[in-house]
Structure formats: C-alpha cells, structure tokens
Structure 1
Amino acid sequence: MSTLTLPPLRIEADYLVETVGDPRRAVETMAGEQSSGTFVPVPGETPELKARSAARVERLDLLDERVETPSLPTTGLKAGADIRRARATLSWPIENVGPSLPNLMATVAGNLFELQAFTGLRLLDIRLPQAFADAYPGPRFGIAGTRRLSGVATGPVIGTIIKPSVGFGPEETAALVATLCAGGIDFIKDDELQADGPHCPFDQRVKAVMRVVNAHADRTGKKVMVAFNLTGDLDQMRRRHDLLVAEGATCLMASLHAVGLVGMIELGRMSALPIHAHRNGWGALTRHPLLGFSYVPWQKIWRLAGADHMHVNGLSNKFFEEDESVVASACACLTPLFPDKPCLAMPVFSSGQTVKQAPGTYRALGTTDLIVTAGGGIVAHPGGPGAGVMALRQAYEAAVADIPLKTHALSHPELAQALEP
C-alpha cells in the first residue's frame, strides 16, 4: 500500500483515452465539455470565466501501441483512420461542484463517455481535495471496528455465504447459521439475491437467525457477525436497519448499484452497524478495458460514502478478472484517502474461494486485514461446514507461517480433506 501525499487543491482525474487523430485535441474537448464549454462558443464564456471555472489538461502522455481497429463504435469514423491512445490527467476547481459525491460523478464520469471524439475512454483514478473528507463520514467501523465486533483480533475474518443462495425459509437459514456458528465461523452473509421475498421475509429471517447467533454468543462469548441484505428503498433500509439494531445484529449488507450513490450516502450517515458493500453489477462498468472505470477510483467513492467492507473478487476466481487486478483492488481499499482520514475499508475476497487461494492471497496482499468468504469451499467440505471453517483457517495459518499447504495438511486433517481432488 502506498503512502498518501497531501490532498490536491483541485479535483484531479486520470484517464486512458483512445481517439482518432490528435489525442490532445480530444482531451481538450473533453475538458471543455465537462466544465465551462460546449460544442460552440457561447456568450459569457469570457477568458475570466474560463480561468475561474474551466477544467485543465494537466498531463498528456502518448502511448506507442498501434491501434488497428477502434475499441468502441462512434459516428463518422472512416476506414483506415489514425487511432491513437494516451493517458491524460484533467483537473477542475472544486468550486464548480463543491464537495458533493453525486456531482463529482457527473463531472469526472458523466457525459464524457458519450463524446464522439473518443473510441475508448476509461477513468483510472481520482484525487480529491480535503473538503471531501470534511463533508463525508467515510467508513465508521472499517478494519478496527470489524475486528472488534467479530471478535477476530488477528488473522483473516473467515466467512461464508448462505447457500443455496435462495430457497431456504427463515428457520432453514437459522439452522444452517447454527451449524456454522458451532463450527467456529467468524462472518456469515446473505447472498445478494436473498432479499425480502414471501418465502423468506427479511424480518422473520433476521429474528430467526439472531436467536441462534445470540444464543451462541451467550454460550461461548463469541458473537458471529452476520451481514443481512437490507437492500431496498430508503424507508425500507431505515426500518430494516432499526430491526437489526434491535435484534443485536452487528453488520448489514447493501448492493451498491441497486441502492445507488445517494442511497449509500444516507445509509452511511445513519447506520449504527458496519456496512458490507456488495459490488454486484460492477462488471458492467469495468469489463471492457477501454470503457468505464478502474476499481481504484470507483472504490474511493463508496468508501467516502461509508462502506466498511468492499468486495474485490478473489484469486483464481470464477469470473473474468485476472489475479493481478484483484490484488490491486484489495490494495486500493487499504490505501489511505487523506492523511488525517484514511477511510480504510476491509477488502472482501470471494468468488470460488477455497483453501488453495490462501497462500497466494496472503503473499500478494502482505496482510491478514481481509474477509474471505468461501461458500462451497466451506459448506461443501467433506467433513461438513465446521470442518470447512477449520480448513480455511488452517490454510491461512500456513500461509502466514510460510508453510506449504501440503506440509501443513500432514498434521491438520481438515485441511488435508479440503485439498483432496
């Protein structure tokens, strides 16, 4: 994780661009469109106004790679056009929008994606003035609060997802939670598909599960952290949040794209519990390498809004993402946003995770400040969910001690079973 320098005085954003002809001309067009200008000169756009409000091209680095075909369609493109790529940095005076995350998004990631001049455009990073740190709470719990509430002082927080994702009723869900609690689990989450359907209503599910969790805590002194999916409209989320607090829950979950930025900001301001932020829908913003967002700027927005946990996929995952990208995402969550307000969020590794990814995950991240959620990797263990929990914990113990998994498995039968083909 990198050391943060002083915040910039202006809003800054880095882009990867692809365009026909001169990249500087295209980037200057973007700067104008995203600040004081438009497609033609207008009365009142004086030099003084431009000096005060216009975006600036702070840097432009041409890339040498040759582009044979455009990455994205655009009108008026002729065969054999000279297509070039560049990295560009733009900046805006904060006075244009104030310290407002919704309006920041309209500025750095708004209409610019539709500009005709570009056949590729991707937001790579943002840097924000101190005013944003003053305006937004950021994670209220983060790493330290998650460790305190889950009772995990050191090592990774070992978690799982309720599986099957949907289909269980409240009592069936509670029965599985009881088994997982008895097996030593630290963290359990609803699947993002489990909401408030008639077969498993939110209120009934929460009450049934928390009876089990509270009873286990009374017996053992350890309260398992359960992230209940309260995704809904604002009034629904407020009411569901209050029920979680009343029942003694220690976490909630929300789907970022479903509740939206304003929904997350409001949830972050009112929540008395850690917010487990699920990124489902993220692939639509990032899967094309010349369109959308890098994870780096995207997660900064949600952390400022109040997310305590951020999903980052996982190594050797079941999705499209390469391991290098997953690690970069996790490191981004652990990199401070401001010198006096780090806003660190706990990265959540998921997607087909088993004991086998533990060494690579720890080696790449260099810390155990993470949540690892293994669904089938725990619930489908040959010895049952309890053995699955033990096996995953043993795998990370081996990783931290730099012991090969097969060597550690010789004296740890749960890990040995998990490593069997």
Structure 2
Amino acid sequence: MERVTATYHIETALPVAKAAATLAGEQSSGTFVAVPGETAELKARFAARVERITELDSVAIPSLPTGRPLAASYRRAEVVVSWSVENFGPNLPTLVSTLQGNLYELAQFSGLKLVDFDVPPGFAAAFRGPAFGIAGCRRLTGVTGRPLIGTIIKPSIGLSPDQTAAMVKELVEAGIDFLKDDELMANPPHSPFDARVDAVMRVINDHAQRTGKKAMYAFNVSDELDAMSRHYDKVVATGGTCAMLSLNSVGLAAAKKICDRGQLAIHGHRNGWGMLNRHPLLGMEFPAYQKLWRLAGVDQLHVNGIANKFWEPDDSVVRSITACLAAEPLGKPLLPVVSSGQWGGQAPETFRRTRTTDLLYMAGGGIQAHPDGPAAGVESLRLWWQAATEGLDYDQSLARYPGLAKSAAKFGGPL
C-alpha cells in the first residue's frame, strides 16, 4: 500500500527512539498498553513506521509543561513517520486525526510540531483540489504579468450595504483587481449578506459592462453549513466570482464541501493561524497547513507579508509563499495572498525575496489611507510593483518614480 509520510520536530525527556515509537503507536494501532488484538499481522499492515530520526540539540527547560517532574534535560529531534493509506482512505479529517490527533497531549513530549507531510499520488488523486488556482484567478480578473492588486473593505464592520457599495465603486473605478469582506464581516444585522451582495455586485457588474474589467470580490460566506450554501448560491446568482472562507472557523470538511461546488474561486483566510503556529514547538508549520487546504480545494491562501504587522518573520513568509507555489500535491499551486500591514513600499523586497508576481497583493489601509485617496492608493501599489519588477530597490524606486514619495511619507521608510 502507498504511505503518507510526516515530519515532526519533537522535544522529549525520553530517549528519542522511544519517544518516536510512542508517537507512531499512539497514532496507529497501539495504545498505552499492549492489547490482545494487536497481533503481529495487524501491526505489519496498520502500524505506523518510524522512518528516520535526526537528533538535534538538548535544552535544560521544557518548552511546554508535561505534568511530570522536571528531567535533567530535554532532547530535540526531527522524526519522520509513515502510515499506510489503508489506515484512513481519502478522508481529510481522519488524515488530520492521524497526523496530529492526541499527539499534542502526550506527556512524553514537551514540544511537538508537524513540520510537513507528503501524500502519495494515489491518495492525492482522490481530491480535485483548487478549481481555479493561479491561472483561473488571473483569467477571472484579466490580470497578467503582475500581482493582482487587492484591498479589504475598511472599516472592517459598521458599514451598511450602500456604504460598502459606494466604497467599492470608488475602488473599481480606480482599476482595482480584487476586493474582499473582512473576516469579521459575514451576515450581521447592520449589513445582511444578501443586501450587501446585491449592492456590491450592481456596482461591479455595471463597471464591467462599461469597461470590460470585472473586479473579483470575495464575499465572506463563513457560517453554518446550510447558510454557507445559501450565501454561495447568492454570489453565483448575482454574477460574483469569489467566496471567502474563514478556514479555521468553518473547518476542513465544511470548507471542502463548499470548494467541491466549483463555481467560485475560494479565498482562504487563515485567521486564527497564530494559535496553530506561533509557538516553535507546538502546532504545525505552514507547508503542512497549506497542503490540507489545497487538497480541500482552496484557490487562494493568506501568507502574511514582508515587514508585516504581526509577529511572523520575513523568512517564514517567504517559505509560505514558496510552499503555495510548489506544484505538489495535485500539480495545482495556490495563489499566495500577501497581506497584513502591506503598502507599496514592501513590493521591492517582496519581489527580491520571492522572484514571483504570482501573488494577490492586498493592502487595506495601504490603499484606502493614501493621502490622495483610494484611487491614488491603487495606482501607487501598481507603480511600486512596476519598480520592483524592474529590479529597483526601495530608494531606487523613489528616485525613478517621485510620485511614490507620498505613500512613503504616509506609510513608512526603508525596509
């Protein structure tokens, strides 16, 4: 049988080989004590295998509490474990239960993080994955040769449908490619979902009829499953092209159910990601995270941004972009969504570090708070990216394009 392989970063007071065996047993056929039914034949077919152990350093203090007396030292290691696909079949929730499950609660570990996992072709073939991906999102927006330029409706909450539509009108007339609801805006009493979709799509459709350019708007359909389906239908009926899901809020199975419909590009917002990743020895790394959502069918996925407003370092952001753009699984890369405190001035460093324009580059305040208004904010981002792809750094961009000085004065200095 084909096997799924996962890599973990662990910390333990036990000999590493013993801790790795505990991990493999807990997540397959074993339990805390031998049981009669776990025969040699069953173990040969279903038990997880420890494929490789690479011991790293040791520390004196545990990274996480274990509920046990302190040990003399805690060993760290990279451990690779594999499972037969027969253990779970083409079932993403059970795959997650296998890869993670109770591992974070085991007293044998004072630190454990899922770094990455790989699925065999036969397993991946059971999933369609992204229906649109990078090429489809470019086709829907008509954007080639540069990043898609996008923004988030701000303030995040409080605007009525008509107020939202008025802001959208100004932005689409400025030539923006992509807009989205904030993750806090879904179907509140002050801005009912259907009314907001009707108001916004009237503006977008009218602009498209007049100019031929149709902006993509990601309406936040996140809700209970039946409500999400109704919201999805509403977006389709009004000519929309995108729906947004708060992935960690709705869950893997619900997201896949929506993605499987295949009529709209799915914008995956990862709000809540910090609780899965921020601790260096707890949770999971982004390469594993994006594979789960890629298999579920998400087309676009947030990756933070260079010099972002959150805790995440630039190296981590670059790794996330690289992970989204990798072909596998399914040979269907995701469109990385660069956001979080972005404005045009980060474009030169973003391009220098990634060498790609296959991005959705989003700025909320970085567009809407431009001194000359949102239209100037959109144009500023385009011009910063033009300078970036010409190979100019921050200072060189300002020297060649003096019009960028206003955004630099408003939003910040050199990175």
> 2:371 matched to 1:378?
no
- Distance in structure 2 (CA, Å) of the matches to 1:234 and 1:21: 44
Instruction: Output the TM-score relative to the length of structure 2.
Output: 0.97
Aligned counterpart, 1:68: 60
Rounded Cα–Cα distance in structure 2 between residues aligned with 1:415 and 1:62: 50
Q: Distance in 2 between matches of 1:43 and 1:409?
A: 73
CA contact (8 A) 2:54 2:78 kept: yes
Answer yes or no: is the 8 Å Cα contact 1:21–1:82 preserved in 2: no
CA distance in 2 between counterparts of 1:129 and 1:31 reads 19
Aligned to 1:330: 321
The C-alpha deviation readout for 1:368-390, integer Å capped at 9, x for no partner, is: 00001100100000111010001
Offset of residue 96 of structure 1: 0.8
Could you tell me which residue of structure 2 aligns to residue 396 of structure 1?
A: 385
Residues 296-335 of structure 1 deviation map (CA, whole Å, 9 limit, x = unaligned): 1011000110100000011111111000001101110010
Offset, 1:131:
2.7
Q: Secondary structure at the match of 1:420?
A: helix
**Letter aligned with residue 346 of structure 2:** Q
Distance 1:90 1:283 in 2: 25
Would you say the 8 A contact 1:137–1:268 is kept in 2? no
Deviations 1:14-49 (A, max 9, x none): 000000030110110111111111111111211111
The reply on whether 1:242 has 2:255 as its aligned counterpart is no
Deviation at 1:173, TM superposition (A): 0.2
One-letter code of the match for 2:174?
A: G
* SS in structure 1 of the partner of residue 304 of structure 2: coil
Q: Is the 8 A contact 1:390 1:415 kept in 2?
A: no
Instruction: Output the amino acid matched with 2:69.
Output: L
Q: Which runs of 5+ in 1 are unaligned?
A: 1-7
> Are the aligned partners of 1:157 and 1:371 in contact in 2 as well (CA < 8 Å)?
yes
Give, in whole Å, the separation in 2 of the partners of 1:164 and 1:53: 52
1:297 aligned residue (261, 285, 288): 288
What is the distance in 1 between the residues matched to 2:58 and 2:37?
41
Contact 1:27/1:88 (<8 A) preserved:
yes
Give 1:87-236 correspondences, 5 Å limit. 87-236=78-227
Distance in 2 between residues matched to 1:76 and 1:133, nearest whole Å: 40
Could you tell me how far 1:94 is from its partner in structure 2?
Answer: 0.7
Q: 1:85 aligned to 59, 76, 79, which one?
A: 76
- CA distance in 2 between counterparts of 1:76 and 1:378 reads 52
Taking the aligned partners of 1:217 and 1:405, their CA distance within structure 2 comes to 34
Percent identity between the aligned chains? 54
Q: Does 1:257 align with 2:252?
A: no
Structure 2 partner of 1:4: none
**C-alpha displacement of 1:414:** 4.0
- The yes-or-no answer on 1:387 pairing with 2:376 is yes
Write the distance in 1 (CA, Å) between the matches of 2:295 and 2:146.
26
Q: For residues 278 and 154 of structure 1, what CA distance do their matches in structure 2 show?
A: 24
Asked whether 1:349 is paired with 2:349, we answer: no
CA deviations 1:163-216 (Å, max 9, x no partner) are 000010000000000000111111001100011111001000000000000111
| 1:419 to partner: Cα distance | 1.3
- Give the TM-score of the pair, scaled to structure 1: 0.95
Kindly provide the amino acid, as one letter, of the partner of residue 15 in structure 1. Y
Shift of 1:411: 5.6
- Give 5+ residue unaligned stretches, structure 2: 411-415
Residue 109 of structure 1 deviates from its aligned partner by 0.8
CA distance in 1, matches of 2:158, 2:367: 19
1:358 and 2:347 are equivalent in the alignment: yes
Paired amino acid for 1:37: G
How far is the alpha carbon of 1:253 from its aligned partner?
A: 0.4
Structure 2 distance, partners of 1:62, 1:412, is 52
SS in 1 for 2:283: strand
Q: Does 1:34 align with 2:27?
A: yes
Code of the residue aligned with 2:213 in structure 1: it is K
Letter matched to residue 377 of structure 1: G
1:273-311 alpha-carbon deviations (Å, 9 max, x no partner)? 100000001111111100010011011000110100000
Question: How far off is 1:412 after superposition?
Answer: 3.9
Provide the C-alpha distance between the structure 1 equivalents of 2:52 and 2:128, rounded to a whole number of angstroms: 31
For 1:59, the equivalent position in structure 2 comes to 52
Which of 16, 23, 38 does residue 45 from structure 1 map onto?
A: 38
The equivalent residue for 2:407 is 418
Q: How far apart in 1 are the matches of 2:199 and 2:399?
A: 39
**Counterpart of 2:413?**
none
Quote the Cα distance in structure 2 between the aligned partners of 1:343 and 1:132: 15
Q: Which residue of 1 aligns with 2:356?
A: 367
The change in CA–CA distance for 1:30 and 1:410 in structure 2 (over 3 A counts) is closer
Query: Superposition RMSD on alpha carbons, in Å?
Result: 1.2
Find the aligned partners of 1:413 and 1:75 in 2 and give their Cα distance. 60
The 2-side partners of 1:303 and 1:149 are apart by: 19
Secondary structure, counterpart of 2:244 in structure 1: strand
**What code does the residue aligned with 2:81 have?**
L
Equivalent-residue separation in structure 2 for 1:323 and 1:44 (angstroms): 50
